[in-house]
Amino acid sequence: MNALWWIPVLSLLIYAPIVSYLDWKYRDIKSHLIWLPLLVVNLPILVYGFLTNLYPTNILPVLALAILFWFILFGVNMRKGADFGWISIITLFGVINPIYGNLMFEPFIYFLIIFTAATFWGIWLDNKLRTKLPGFTTKNGIPYLVVISLALIASVVI
């Protein structure tokens, strides 16, 4: 276990409640400048980690393809990009789980799918039983940063 593995994960875990709150309360993160401290802290660690084999270099193509996939997915469906920014930052910087020493990408995707499905199921059920809105619609939209943050937290601790 390496102490440098903790810095990206802790910084992401510190950000999770902040971006979740902004998305839940205002449905907007206000400015993409919010990502700058994460980039400033974690980019040097990421580069150092890959140059010194602290992170396995064979996962670089997987991370790049995942971020390209996020770009395509969110580029088609979303306009503002906070969801894309947050999920890409987690994918890029959440490389190694410092608790278990395994890669975080696979459990993160697993929990992201589970929590997204649960969110849609909850919205559908709420619309059927309480609000009477059609299908998967909500009054203010879905705060996906909350769902993404929950997947991050689960992928670290479970």
**Domain spans of the chain, in order of start:** 3-157
pLDDT, tens digit, for every residue of 67-119?
888 888 777 665 557 888 899 899 999 889 999 889 999 999 999 999 999 99
Query: What pLDDT is recorded for position 80?
Result: 57
Q: What are phi and psi of 56, to 5 degrees?
A: -70, 125
Using the structure block, give the residue that is written with the tokens 């999920």: 87
Decide if pLDDT at 127 tops 90: no
Query: What pLDDT is recorded for position 77?
Result: 63
Cα 2 to chain center, whole Å?
Answer: 23
- How many Cα neighbours within 13 Å face the side chain of 71? 6
> Is residue 42 a contact partner of residue 7, using CB atoms and an 8 Å limit?
yes
Cα dist from 4 to 45, 48, 50, 85, 96, whole Å: 7, 10, 12, 23, 10
Query: What pLDDT is recorded for position 131?
Result: 81
Average pLDDT over residues 30-34: 86
CB neighbourhood size of 34 (10 A): 16
Outline where DSSP puts E strands in the chain: none
> pTM, whole model, 2 decimals?
0.88
Torsion of CA 134, 136, 141, 146, to 10 degrees: 150
CB neighbourhood size of 152 (10 A): 26
Query: What pLDDT is recorded for position 79?
Result: 55
For the chain, what percent of residues have pLDDT higher than 70? 96
